[in-house]
Amino acid sequence: MADPLIMNNHPAELLRGIAQCATCGVEYEEASLPAVCPVCADDRQYLPLDGVQRWHEPAVESAGIEVVELEERLFALRVDGGVGIGQEAKVLVTDAGTVMVDVPSAITAEAVAQVAALGPLRAIIPSHPHMFGLQSAWSAALGGAEVWVARADAGWLGRAPENLRLWDREEEVLPGVVATQLGGHFPGSAVVHWEAADGRGVLLSGDTIAPNPDGRTAAFMYSYPNRIPLSGPVALRVADGAARFAFDRLYGNFAGAILSDARAAVLASAARHAAWTSGDHDDLTGPAGASD
């Protein structure tokens, strides 16, 4: 049973001293804001078109959040409005407690109460810095759950959560739940493997491996908004790292998913990516630039 004092603690009380970049939604210390959000200034993200850095006060205004069941013991936190890029956090439920993978850029008392009702939150795991969201506030609202940040990506923190845990490579988070860093999108980009209620396995992939709109294939990118691909060898390395686990379904950090035979789909998608980036299919791209 969740502590009712935590459930009734209004998020505004937990957001004092926090500011968010209005473009990416990542949290920062309000007292020491940079001139420009470094997450957005990086090639993997983007600055506002007018070049003006804007900051948001989440204690003043936040967006709505809907908690949606995706499958037995797996839930999504879908944000309606607000700032940031609109990522969809996932919460998986085990007999030993719950784990949040990726973090919303919003928080509400209602969503906190719904997540608390699923069981004690044991860990918050952002797959990479774009997914930091309001991780400090979510941790504080739900009993001080540890926030697992890849040591390789800790330099991107604009605010260090009180219960920060830096981690490397691979760790068992709870029985049946393993977090592993595959790299690629960021050096510490992580996925979380969960045995799942049916025992067939689920991979929560962030956008370390991003499910495509077709629901059958996946993408491997250094930057998704700026369309910068990973090299073929890196895509193959990331896919092979994921394929050490058995998983039938894959869920990304937005609404995309591969809902059957996902492990095979990841391996096939990496092979396709490697073939295209190595020029194997250049004959399909037309004669532009060829001399007569």
128-174 pLDDT tens trace: 999 999 999 999 999 999 999 999 999 999 999 999 999 999 999 99
Torsions phi, psi for 241 (to 5 deg)? -65, -40
| Residues of the chain by 3-state class (helix, strand, coil), percent to 5 | 25, 30, 45
Q: At what angle do helices 232-242 and 262-277 cross, to 10 degrees?
A: 170
Dist. CA 154–CA 152, nearest whole Å: 6
Supply 132's token pair.
């930091």
Is the confidence at residue 292, as pLDDT, over 60? Answer: no
Using one digit for the tens of pLDDT, what is the confidence trace for 40-74? 999 999 999 999 999 999 988 778 999 999 999 99
**CATH code linked to domain 4-277:** 3.60.15.10
Q: What pTM was computed for the model?
A: 0.94
Residue 2: the pLDDT is 40
Residue 135's pLDDT is what? Answer: 98
Domain ranges (residues) in the chain: 4-277
pLDDT for the residue 174: 98
Closest CA to 162 of 178, 130, 138: 138
